């Protein structure tokens, strides 16, 4: 078993956004200031973009860009608190002992309250140690919009085969969601926070892993993927990277 890393999450420090590719080149909605996206269903005024082809914003949070893959799955960049996203399942990067000290874990624990804390404790007790890149699922409970939470023991950038482990983490999350016939999944930029992965390298690995998963699965219950981000640097990176995928 590889070195156990700390809880993982996307970076929470705002930064200057990267420039997204043009809509004409990649069919992705342009990156827009979240201040212009507060009202659900409201047309985006910047860069002539509209919300007509975007998935509904989860709980009125900002949907910033979207790419539809050739098999029909949608990859959507969302600026939100992951604990408030309405999806069938959300992903919580953790360690072998189901620690909730990461940004995602803390947000889920705060939102979920004692019911969610008990669900995680029960899962930890019944499952035991979470092996490297392994995943386990618990109910979201009455206070979290997501039906389920997948806990994944992610790597740090210093671990042996760190990027291979990150790829396995992503694919294991999707396989578990598939096993429960779930249709939508929301995940942070695993590894690009305290785990120390460069943001762009983490995004490329995560997006490539998801694309490979769908290609190999061919038929999947998962139809909607939300990348739940906070800082503008990560939003710019994910917007640019999903634009590079084949439609």
Give the burial class of 80: count Cβ atoms within 10 A of its Cβ; 0-12 exposed, 13-18 middle, 19 or more buried.
Answer: buried
Q: Using the 8-state DSSP alphabet, how is residue 230 labeled?
A: -
Q: Which of 231, 177, 236, 238 is nearest to 205 (CA)?
A: 238
Q: Which of 63, 83, 67 is nearest to 9 (CA)?
A: 83
Predicted pLDDT of residue 10: 42
* Sheet strands side by side (includes 62-68): 62-68, 74-79, 224-229, 184-187, 89-94, 148-153, 135-139
Distance CA 169, CA 60 (A): 29
Where the chain has pLDDT below 50, the residues are: 1-54, 57-60
Give the burial class of 181: count Cβ atoms within 10 A of its Cβ; 0-12 exposed, 13-18 middle, 19 or more buried.
Answer: exposed
**DSSP-derived secondary structure for 10-67:** ---S--PPPPPPPHHHH-PPPP--GGG--STTPPP-GGG--STTSPPPGGGPEEEEEE
Over the chain, what is the mean pLDDT? 82
**Gap between the terminal Cα atoms of the chain:** 37
> Could you tell me the sign of the dihedral formed by the alpha carbons of 110, 112, 113, 117, in that order?
negative
Predicted pLDDT of residue 28: 38
pLDDT in tens, 170-223: 999 999 999 999 999 999 999 998 999 999 999 999 999 999 999 998 899 999
Q: Using the 8-state DSSP alphabet, how is residue 219 labeled?
A: S
Predicted pLDDT of residue 174: 99
Predicted pLDDT of residue 72: 93
Q: Is it true that domain 57-243 has CATH number 3.40.220.10?
A: yes
Predicted pLDDT of residue 1: 39
Predicted pLDDT of residue 247: 61
- Residue 72 near residue 66, CB atoms below 8 Å: no
Predicted pLDDT of residue 19: 37
Which token pair is 143? 């206070």
Predicted pLDDT of residue 246: 79
Which token pair is 196? 């120390």
Predicted pLDDT of residue 29: 36
């Amino acid at each position: 078993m590889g070195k156990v890393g700390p809880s993982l999450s996307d970076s929470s420090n705002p930064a200057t956004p990267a420039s997204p590719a043009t809509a004409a080149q990649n069919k992705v909605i342009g990156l827009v200031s979240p201040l212009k996206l507060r009202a659900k269903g409201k047309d985006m005024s910047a860069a002539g973009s509209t919300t007509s082809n975007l998935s509904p914003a989860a709980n009125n949070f900002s949907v910033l860009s979207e790419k539809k893959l050739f098999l029909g799955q949608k990859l959507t960049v969302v600026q939100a608190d992951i604990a408030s996203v309405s999806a069938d399942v959300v992903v919580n990067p953790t360690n072998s002992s189901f620690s909730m000290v990461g940004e995602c874990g803390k947000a889920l624990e705060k939102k979920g309250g004692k019911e969610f804390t008990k669900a995680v404790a029960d899962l930890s007790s019944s499952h035991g140690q979470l092996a490297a890149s392994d995943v386990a699922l618990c109910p979201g409970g009455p206070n979290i919009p997501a039906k389920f939470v997948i806990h994944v023991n992610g790597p740090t950038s210093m671990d042996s085969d760190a990027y291979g482990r990150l790829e396995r983490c992503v694919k294991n999350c999707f396989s578990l969601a598939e096993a429960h016939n779930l249709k939508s999944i929301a995940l942070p930029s695993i590894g690009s926070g305290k785990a120390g992965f460069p943001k762009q390298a983490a995004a490329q690995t995560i997006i490539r892993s998801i694309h490979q998963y769908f290609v190999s699965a061919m038929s999947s219950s998962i139809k909607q993927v939300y990348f739940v981000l906070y800082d503008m640097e990560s939003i710019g990176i994910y917007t640019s990277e999903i634009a590079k995928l084949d439609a």
